[in-house]
Structure 1
Amino acid sequence: MSEVEKPKKKTRSFDLTKGAVHKHLIRMALPMIIGLSASMSFTFVDSYFIAKLGTNEVAAMGFVSRMVMIYFSVAIGLSAGVTSVLAHLAGSGDQDEVKKLATNTLIMTAILSLAISIFGYLTIDPIFTAMGANEHVLPHVREYMMIWYLSPLFVILPMTGGGVMRALGDTKLQGNLMLVSAFANAALDPLLIFGLYGFPELGFAGAAWASLITRFISFAVILYALHYQYNVICFSKETINTFAASLKKILHVGIPATGTNIIIPIVAAIVISIVARYGTEAVAATHVATTIEMISLVLFFSTSAVVGPFIGQNLGARKFDRIDECIKSVSIFCMAWGLFVAIAIALTAPTLAGLFRKEPEIIALAQSYLYVVPISYGLYGIVMSVNAMFNSLGKPMPGVAISSIRVFFLQLPLFYIASEFYGLEIAFITISISNAIAGVIGYLWIKDTVNKLKHA
């Protein structure tokens, strides 16, 4: 049998258009919950060990984490574009197009990562100075980011590659990989920060090196799996020739999805610059509170990661009853889990706030955040899932609008006014108000959109 006549390997995928809706969502969500919990622990673990170095280092991590999240948001947006387009193709059974688009995604990721590294190295001092990092904090920021800017490819490719896997209905490998990476990062942090067991004592830079090493491992495993397990990488001339067409499809959703995600850390960076006017301790306290928040939101991140491929495949199969059921189930879950988390955090806020630093002013301000913002987590969870749903429907602009309303038109101006006239404790309440309003808007908007598609 000639090379041309050899049967093509099938891409590995799961059919989400049949079977119980809740079972598919749970099957895909469980690995993501475990994996994302572990992945979110990167910042938590880094912050825990860095807190032992001093308040300036904690404040530096507060600035660094905001900037890193901006780049993560770019990766999340591209991943959403890939997931949306590939899920439609998987739902329609077009395996050749799946391979072309997945391969071109990797090429695009490599180009983008190089651009981010170059831009990052040229702008460390001006950007972080504008954010409010003072002469005591900026050297630590510079120390960390000089290392971190080696890693954009190792950060972005696992996320876009994970988007390919989710589009095919599989989240297990990505979840397991994030779990292993988190354990590796937690083990390397103290070794490299404090120089234990013969390792070099790198201080603040040790956390950056630990993350770089574990991200590289994830990168290598994802690349191997996409090629040998999922059979979606094919650098043929025909594939390369479709690069522009693939890029157009991905960016149709990817650019708005990136906008939806990137405005959140951009506003967070502006907010931290407002907080910085209250001093280094205020920045440290806010970072402590938001680090705890990231762990608390992990189930919402997991849910938003799996609703996209589910809705995408069912849209491709025109099964709107399953999409309606998905929206209902996700909304009920978000509200129930949000209530539980808010109560749990309120009961444990003093203990949680004291895990990192013992200064009374840092603990008190972190508690103020943890008492009021989690009240809105249920509706914020709906915002996350609704944005993912719009992306999977191929209609990313409503997600951009909802996120813009939440952070640009509500949170930022309200936070600034409240902090200017009433203090940070009152300003934190405005974050909760913004989340709640956006959640209601998002739910009503997605229901109306699906209803119109159903009857189109």
Structure 2
Amino acid sequence: MLAASTQQMAGLGKTLWRQTWPMAIGVLSLLGFQLVDSAFIARLGTVPLAAQSFTFPLSFLIIGIQVGMGIAIAALISRALGAGEKARAKRLSSLVLMAGGAVIACLAMLLWAFQMPIFSLLGAESNTFGHLRSYWPPQLLSAWLGALLYFVYSVFRAHGDTRLPGKMMVITSLINLALDPVLIFGIGPWPGWGLPGAAWATAIAFSFGLLATGGRLWKRGWASREGLWQEGRQSWRPFMGIAAPAMVSQLMPPLAAMLAISVVAGLGESQVAAWGLASRLETLSLMVILAMTMSLPPWLGRCYGAGDWDQIHRLLRLALGVAVVWQLTLGILLALGAPWLGMVLAGNPDVQDELVLLIRFLLPSYAALGVCMLVVSAGNALGWPLRAMLLSGARLFMCYLPCLWLGEQLAGWWGLAAGAALGNVLAGLVAWLLLRRILSRPHRQARVNAG
């Protein structure tokens, strides 16, 4: 019995590895080039780096909406494929590309029209406005192109292909890496564009990725032009049933990021710059967790459809164990190397000191944050999106932000870093307790729904 259980876990581990590693490499490269962007911009000075940091919450807002839509469309397409409805899956693919692109375009235009009032509310000072005016339009363009590319990736993942999205994330990251120094600093007689050059480099890289993956999508016959209006009328209710809670869950982090950076802004520009670099480092250090949140839901969804709750239990135990061990080990190692990381990422000595403190407190706490992220992802896949949304809200507005604000009030920058870390630990504990409570009721599992 024990040998069979061990063999099952080993088999699950191999499958989890095969599903996750392409996305992990892709996420690593994608987040890596964002960190490289910030490292290059840090060489321009503290004010440009602070200006870029003020755009992060709004960029996360766009990403939140696109991820929520991507979760819904991947779920619907995978269910259609499981039911043998290939024609419907093609129509859904076309619909998400058209409707999703239109929604993100409208949001980008609104964020451009109201940019100055929004940045003022976030705490931006007058010396950063000039940089924001030149940087924000190309950054919004790159965000729109990135959203379209993400929707294409979602279609591929719904069909069980994680390799091509992972490969394209690496390629677009390398293109961005090559263009960054040229467009930011210039080359030879051609002057650089400064801060806007980073956004244009990303826009060019995403354009290449969109052309390459879009062509492959059409060649595989995974999209269709026929019957889109009727499919839209039929699918909008189930789509919104998944997408609405998922989008709310994804929109909470940018809202929390806006509130957090408004607290940080009261401490000074070097603190804002360090916070922006730490935000980039956070997403990079969570690459394995982010990859699992992409690879696990289709697998969990198939188990949920088959009513195989034993497999769900085993899979979640394995995923959470990997998350804790990996993140805790990585966090401790990076905390030990914090002075070196601060020197590499930040050009200003003041920013380096502030960043080192954040790394030492925050990165080990991401082991608990990873648990919370995986439980939220599992909730969307297993038929409790409302619970997942409420857990996201509790993490941010009952654990993270109150601890961060209280720490800043009591002990300034040191207290803010410690409070943010404590908030992550509390969120992980709440998520683990919630998951245990739900999965300990086998007689109710088959009847759990969005409520």
TM-score (norm 1): 0.91
Write the distance in 1 (CA, Å) between the matches of 2:260 and 2:219: 44
User: Aligned runs of 1:338-377 on 2, under 5 Å?
Assistant: 338-377=327-366
Write the distance in 2 (CA, Å) between the matches of 1:102 and 1:73: 19
Higher alpha-carbon deviation: 173-182 or 383-392 = 383-392
Contact 1:288 1:353 in 2 (8 A): no
**Counterpart among 90, 112, 115 of residue 106 in structure 2:** 115
Write the distance in 2 (CA, Å) between the matches of 1:56 and 1:163: 36
Shift of 1:358: 4.2
Is 2:164 aligned against 1:164?
no
Cα distance per residue 1:193-239 (max 9 Å; x no partner): 1111555521111001101111111222232222212x221111x23
Match of 2:290 in 1: 301
Write the distance in 1 (CA, Å) between the matches of 2:77 and 2:376: 17
Contact 1:91 1:314 in 2 (8 A): no
Letter in 2 for 1:28: Q
Write the distance in 1 (CA, Å) between the matches of 2:222 and 2:54: 38
Relative CO higher for 1 or 2, CA cutoff 8 Å, sep ≥ 6? 1
SS in 1 for 2:223: coil
Shift of 1:112: 0.5
Cα distance per residue 1:288-320 (max 9 Å; x no partner): 222222211111111111111111122223322
Write the distance in 2 (CA, Å) between the matches of 1:199 and 1:251: 49
Match of 1:291 in 2: 280
Letter in 2 for 1:273: S
Cα distance per residue 1:94-143 (max 9 Å; x no partner): 32322222221112112202211221221111111111111111211221
Contact 1:154 1:218 in 2 (8 A): no
Match of 1:233 in 2: 223
Distance 1:156 1:455, change over 3 A: closer
Shift of 1:72: 1.0
Write the distance in 2 (CA, Å) between the matches of 1:425 and 1:163: 40
Write the distance in 1 (CA, Å) between the matches of 2:83 and 2:438: 22
Is 2:421 aligned against 1:435?
no
SS in 1 for 2:315: helix
Match of 1:74 in 2: 65
Letter in 2 for 1:260: S
Shift of 1:447: 4.1
Match of 1:35 in 2: 26
Distance 1:183 1:20, change over 3 A: same
**Counterpart among 412, 415, 420 of residue 423 in structure 1:** 412
Match of 1:182 in 2: 173
Contact 1:55 1:284 in 2 (8 A): yes
Contact 1:260 1:403 in 2 (8 A): yes
User: Aligned runs of 1:69-148 on 2, under 5 Å?
Assistant: 69-148=60-139
Match of 1:6 in 2: none
Match of 1:332 in 2: 321
Contact 1:81 1:250 in 2 (8 A): yes
Write the distance in 1 (CA, Å) between the matches of 2:60 and 2:392: 16
SS in 1 for 2:126: coil
Higher alpha-carbon deviation: 51-60 or 87-96 = 87-96
Match of 2:6 in 1: none
Match of 1:15 in 2: none
Match of 1:55 in 2: 46
TM-score (norm 2): 0.92
Is 2:164 aligned against 1:173?
yes
Shift of 1:90: 3.0
Letter in 2 for 1:69: F
Is 2:242 aligned against 1:253?
yes
SS in 2 for 1:278: coil
Letter in 1 for 2:100: T
Distance 1:425 1:100, change over 3 A: same
Contact 1:331 1:382 in 2 (8 A): yes
Cα distance per residue 1:126-169 (max 9 Å; x no partner): 11111111111121122111112223431112212212221222
SS in 1 for 2:114: helix
Write the distance in 2 (CA, Å) between the matches of 1:88 and 1:163: 14
Is 2:179 aligned against 1:215?
no
Q: How many residues align?
A: 436
Write the distance in 2 (CA, Å) between the matches of 1:55 and 1:281: 7
Contact 2:180 2:198 in 1 (8 A): yes
Shift of 1:423: 0.6
Contact 1:386 1:442 in 2 (8 A): yes
Contact 2:90 2:223 in 1 (8 A): yes
Distance 1:442 1:85, change over 3 A: farther
Write the distance in 2 (CA, Å) between the matches of 1:201 and 1:342: 36
Match of 1:8 in 2: none
Contact 1:36 1:178 in 2 (8 A): yes
Write the distance in 2 (CA, Å) between the matches of 1:389 and 1:87: 16
Distance 1:32 1:317, change over 3 A: same
**Counterpart among 311, 322, 331 of residue 322 in structure 1:** 311
Contact 2:307 2:446 in 1 (8 A): no
User: Aligned runs of 1:377-396 on 2, under 5 Å?
Assistant: 377-396=366-385
Shift of 1:453: 4.9
Write the distance in 1 (CA, Å) between the matches of 2:84 and 2:302: 10
Contact 1:92 1:317 in 2 (8 A): no
Cα root mean square deviation, aligned: 1.8
Shift of 1:93: 3.1
Higher alpha-carbon deviation: 333-342 or 90-99 = 90-99
Contact 1:91 1:316 in 2 (8 A): no
Contact 2:256 2:397 in 1 (8 A): yes
Q: Percent of aligned pairs with the same residue?
A: 26
- Gaps (5+ residues) in structure 1? 1-18
